[in-house]
Structure 1
Amino acid sequence: SGRLEQADMIPVLQDKTLCIDATHPYATQVTQNIREAAAQAGVVYKRLLRPASQLPQGCLVAANAQEAVRMLQSMEGNVLLTTGAKELLPFALLGKERLYARVLPLESSLHACAQAGIQPAHIIAMQGPFGAELNKALLHQYSIRYLVTKDGGSPGGFWEKWEASQACDVQMVVIRRPEEDGESYQDVLDFCKEWMAGCR
């Protein structure tokens, strides 16, 4: 619980035998830290992959935030960022007048918004999950033309964002997941069952 650096993870893992990393698919630094901490603690490590969404036709897809910015620089209209506070800074190039950010209601999120030049009146600090109706209301309220998101799958509210963007004639821009190695839920579950059976 809470944010841990790699050095903080090692004592947590030292008296364990198995570590399952089920962190967010975009949390690449955290996954690297967990993997290395598990190795140092001598703990078996498994990376659980969240299934990617089958992205619907009509989405613009970017490899990362920087590519999404390059796409949007040639387009006009307000942009709603739902990528998380850590991804805001590159979007500052688009100009503060057109940027709106939906972030967690945390001091660190507000600080990230300030660093990206996002005006206080353009910050939507809310804790999800968000249904399609609330997404629609926000798109209307702020005259949004582009919604930028990550492929967080169903747990990340991807389809509710898609439904809202379609209903409001808003272009969705999806930042593609980073490539990573790991295993499916079923494979990790089967491994755990075998592991527990061997502990009896």
Structure 2
Amino acid sequence: MKAVVFSGTTEGRRFSQKLAALGAKVTVCVATPLGAEEQGEMAGITVHAGRLQPDAMAALLAGADLCIDATHPYAVDATKNIRAAAAQAGVEYRRLLRAQSPLPEGCAVFETAAQAAEYLAGQDGNVLLATGAKELSAFASLDPARLYPRVLPTPEGIAACEAAHIPHKNIIAMQGPFSLVLNVALMEQFHIQYLVTKDGGAAGGFAEKVQAAAKTGAQLVVLRRPPEVGETEDELFTHCQEMLQWSH
């Protein structure tokens, strides 16, 4: 069985390794060199690094038995493109879901980063932006001196902060997920009163952020996860096992 996994997430790495261990030939597609570095090397797995347009995705899927979309829950455009490419290539598409987190009482919940920025505009105090570099432009209306973005330690991450006029002393360039202790230390160091995050689930260290906000007395601001349909890791793994049995 040949499977193509669009990954760059913890569950995508884990799932591709489980598939390869079953004897499947797996191609893992990640968008960045950092994704390839995190994936690592394993027998039975070929890694393709670099963003792909739908046509290139479809070409890569040619001859595959299964397309697994294990991209980040908030990567809506990527999911749309992968779904379209699988349809174009005539390959079965499956979406691997990340379990949602229970949201604590008292957190401010918004559909978009722009709505969260609007809310913050009416408040005073420093903001830890743990939403990723891509969302930074949505907070452009706020005073950059208040913002402490936590971004990946890549040239793109730093460039996004510079483009948003974030003072260099405010840039936190680190690769997560982060422990409760580290979250609390950063929030105390920078006098953070608002922590803005996505519901990244257990893989994204969501619980540690919730606990850190509670511990430091900061207001938790959550960007709601886009609704989607798919399968859990266990459900999808069972399906793959059945596919492998049929192919023998």
TM-score (norm 2): 0.78
Offset from partner CA, 1:164-195 (integer Å, 9 cap, x none): 11111111100000112222223222222222
1:24 aligns with 2:72: yes
2:141 to 61, 86, 93: 93
Report the counterpart of residue 153 of structure 2 in structure 1: 105
Identity across the alignment (%): 50
For residues 178-189 of structure 1, the aligned pairs below 5 Å read 178-189=226-237
Query: In the aligned structure 2, how far is the partner of 1:173 from the partner of 1:195?
Result: 42
Query: In the aligned structure 2, how far is the partner of 1:78 from the partner of 1:158?
Result: 20
1:56 to 104, 120, 127: 104
Report the counterpart of residue 179 of structure 2 in structure 1: 131
Query: In the aligned structure 1, how far is the partner of 2:50 from the partner of 2:112?
Result: 23
SS at match of 2:80: helix
Query: In the aligned structure 1, how far is the partner of 2:92 from the partner of 2:208?
Result: 36
Shift of 1:199: 1.0
Offset from partner CA, 1:88-118 (integer Å, 9 cap, x none): 1011111111011000011111111122221
Structure 1 moving runs of 4+ over 4 Å: none
1:192 to 232, 237, 240: 240
Query: In the aligned structure 2, how far is the partner of 1:122 from the partner of 1:33?
Result: 35
Report the counterpart of residue 41 of structure 1 in structure 2: 89
Report the counterpart of residue 3 of structure 1 in structure 2: 50
- Is this contact kept in 2: 1:149–1:173, CA < 8 A? yes
Query: In the aligned structure 1, how far is the partner of 2:89 from the partner of 2:247?
Result: 20
Query: In the aligned structure 1, how far is the partner of 2:174 from the partner of 2:56?
Result: 29
Shift of 1:87: 0.5
Q: Tell me the matched-pair count.
A: 200
RMSD: 1.2
- Is this contact kept in 2: 1:102–1:126, CA < 8 A? yes
SS at match of 2:71: coil
Query: In the aligned structure 2, how far is the partner of 1:3 from the partner of 1:86?
Result: 17
Shift of 1:153: 0.4
The residue type equivalent to 1:132 in the other structure is L
Report the counterpart of residue 157 of structure 1 in structure 2: 205
For structure 1, list consecutive stretches of 5 or more residues without a partner in the other structure. Answer: none
Query: In the aligned structure 1, how far is the partner of 2:123 from the partner of 2:228?
Result: 31
Query: In the aligned structure 2, how far is the partner of 1:9 from the partner of 1:133?
Result: 41
Shift of 1:160: 0.7
- Is this contact kept in 2: 1:90–1:116, CA < 8 A? no
Offset from partner CA, 1:17-72 (integer Å, 9 cap, x none): 10111111001111111111111111110011111101111211111101101111
Offset from partner CA, 1:132-180 (integer Å, 9 cap, x none): 0000110011110000000000100001111111111111100000112
- Is this contact kept in 2: 1:18–1:45, CA < 8 A? yes
For residues 166-177 of structure 1, the aligned pairs below 5 Å read 166-177=214-225
TM-score (norm 1): 0.96
Query: In the aligned structure 1, how far is the partner of 2:228 from the partner of 2:135?
Result: 19
Report the counterpart of residue 65 of structure 1 in structure 2: 113
